[in-house]
Chain A
């Protein structure tokens, strides 16, 4: 089983819909992250969480929200999806000052 699992792997939806991307990890790490990847732009940090009660905005948090339901679960929501949120989304986890471990990503298309 993968250390970091993202669901769904692919999603196509319409503008204005609410979408939730889910992430779970089995590494026992406190720190979890959500990134988006766009062609030619690298990865950008959306939100990060140091523990269940500590959630912080990243570089591009507008239009997104997150929920840390448990140490192992961190979900990302798009309250009202728009086409420029079409991207590849990654969840990651790490221990303090340790390498980040990534899931396989969710490919999201918004029509």
Chain B
């Protein structure tokens, strides 16, 4: 059974720091991995999607990497800002299902203080 774990559960950093959020999954048979951002009282916003054949994806100050063989992904945030404060979720789409089923981690709650 696929399980997704995110460490740390919470992180507090000063503005301007570069930081890394970690996501690990137990079964490497995946179609893709997706990183989301969730703001309080809001839904999830898709940040980056990495296909299983890809190693990384970049969008602005965000860079996500994928090492499928070791079951790991990282989300790198450069020059963090208070507006980056949110909960970050990763989710994998496992192979072997006739669906777009996503399995989510429990998230990392990030606070960036001025």
Contacts and interface: CB of A to CB of B under 8 A. Distances in A.
Interface of B is mostly: strand
Contacts of B89: 42-43
B41 interface: yes
Contact of B100 (A41, A96, A105): A96
B42 A45 contact: no
Interface in A34-56: 40-45, 48, 50, 56
Contact of A48 (B44, B49, B100): B100
Interface of A is mostly: strand
Given A42-B4, A42-B89, A48-B99, A102 B104 contact: no
A96 B102 CA distance: 13
Interface residues on A, range: 20 to 34
A104 B43 contact: yes
B90 to A, nearest CB: 10
28 contacts: A4-B43, A33-B100, A40-B106, A42-B104, A42-B105, A43-B44, A43-B91, A43-B102, A45-B102, A48-B100, A92-B43, A92-B44, A94-B100, A96-B100, A97-B31, A97-B32, A99-B34, A99-B46, A99-B49, A100-B44, A100-B100, A100-B102, A102-B36, A102-B44, A102-B45, A104-B42, A105-B42, A105-B43
